[in-house]
Amino acid sequence: MIYLDHAATTPLAPEVLAAMEPYLREQFGNASALYSLGRKSRLAVENARELAAAFFGCQPQEILFTSGGSESDNLALRGVMAACRERGDHLITTLIEHHAVLHTAQALERQGYRVTYLRPDRQGRVDVEQVRGAITERTVLISVMHANNEIGTVQPVEAIGRLARERGILFHTDAVQAVGQLPTRVREMPCDLLSMSAHKIYGPKGVGLLYARTGVRLVPHITGGDQEYNRRAGTENVAGIVGLGAALELAFAVLQSDELARQQALRDRLIADVRERLPDAELTGHPALRLPNHASFRFPHIEGEPLLLNLDMQGICASSGSACAAGTIEPSHVLLAIGYTLSEAHGALRLTLGRENTEAEVDRVIEVLPPLVESLRKLRVPPGDAECGARRAPRIAE
């Protein structure tokens, strides 16, 4: 199997599993308990918090453990908007955010908040002047993702962060894709809130964190016990938190090594070879300002789903921007937002590399993908038939 979907999730690193194991076995104590079994869990949680603080360049008490990226995004948006209600009710975000931000912003609108959704350019970049132009007297929060999961484009978070600070507005960034691939020191960015998720950096699923700068008020969205400084109730996921800490330690080592340059070189070859063999293949997202492991394409006149199924039969795990939900093929909201038409948005393919991928695996993809795209094109039904939502049995190429 060739796994090229690291933007969706990553395998658990063996070192991370080893760090977690005692806390799934004999070290099962509740971190709030007073006996030594519990105190050991508390120490493990606080050790992970210190690792996270060192990674992001902040204080340990600014790290809140959550159940993952989606919860961190929810806590940032809902928590800040509720806490700042008397100061203002306006949120600025973008049309290409992950659904964890986008659907939360829409839910806030239904509660009476006002939201401005910025439209990035065709390469997926938001301009800091667009953000400036959207600011009103009532703006309390700007939420712009650090790097996009579907097209890999990196946003000018530094400039946006500085603008927000100048204007006394809080800045949140969803850095789930950026952590471990780009510098994410929160003071340097600068940001007031940052979301990340363990399973995107070779850690376990179901755990993440929100960095919230000291002084940022948050109304908790999960109430109960006084865990996580009274900002997020619930018995700590000790093994998960330990895994998150171990994954961040590994990510730190990777950032210091030449591993990301290796992935970027593989990615560049993948992109160059695909475009050479399929001249009408289009790289989506920004050609340079993109995640080092991220290649995303659009192939005219084919659909993503049969392409993925055929790649799967060749042992290649990849993804398109489309998610299959309730019997319809939803085109990528990201591609639609940056100006692709419905039918253009259907032929998307995302290949995201990781630590375990090799040269030989990239060779194999370059061998398999172009003939597959060409054979699917020949099988293509005439336009009109290929409408969004009209789900048919996927066509399998020979």
Measured CA to CA in angstroms, residue 197 lies from 5, 203, 322, 329 at distances of 16, 8, 22, 27
Q: Pick from 41, 177, 264, 296 the residue near ligand PLP by CB under 6 A.
A: 177
Fill in the amino acid letter for 68: G
Q: Which CB atom, from 97 or from 303, has the smaller least distance to ligand PLP?
A: 97
- For helices 238-256 and 14-24, what crossing angle results, to 10°? 160
Q: Pick from 75, 176, 274, 278 the residue near ligand PLP by CB under 6 A.
A: 176
Q: Which residue is nearest to ligand PLP (CB)?
A: 69
Residue pair 56/248 in contact (Cβ under 8 Å)? The answer is no
Concatenating the DSSP letter of every residue in 195-232 gives EEEGGGTTS-TT-EEEEE-TT-----SS-SS-HHHHTS
Within residues 43-72, the interface with ligand PLP by CB under 6 A covers 68-70
List residues with catalytic annotation.
Answer: 324
Name the nearest CA neighbour of 332 among 296, 365, 307: 296
Within residues 118-157, the interface with ligand PLP by CB under 6 A covers 145, 149
State the number of binding residues for ligand PLP (CB under 6 A).
Answer: 15
Minimum gap (Å) between residue 364 Cβ and ligand PLP: 26
Name the nearest CA neighbour of 142 among 61, 96, 81: 81
Q: Which CB atom, from 201 or from 386, has the smaller least distance to ligand PLP?
A: 201
Minimum gap (Å) between residue 286 Cβ and ligand PLP: 16
Q: Pick from 10, 181, 197, 310 the residue near ligand PLP by CB under 6 A.
A: 197
Name the nearest CA neighbour of 388 among 291, 318, 267, 305: 305
Minimum gap (Å) between residue 150 Cβ and ligand PLP: 9
Determine, following the binding rule CB under 6 A, whether residue 350 of this chain makes contact with ligand PLP: no
Name the nearest CA neighbour of 3 among 316, 342, 373, 304: 316
Name the nearest CA neighbour of 157 among 174, 140, 169, 177: 174
Q: Which CB atom, from 70 or from 227, has the smaller least distance to ligand PLP?
A: 70
Q: Where do contacts with ligand PLP occur on this chain (CB under 6 A)?
A: 68-70, 73, 98, 100, 145, 149, 174, 176-177, 197, 199-200, 208
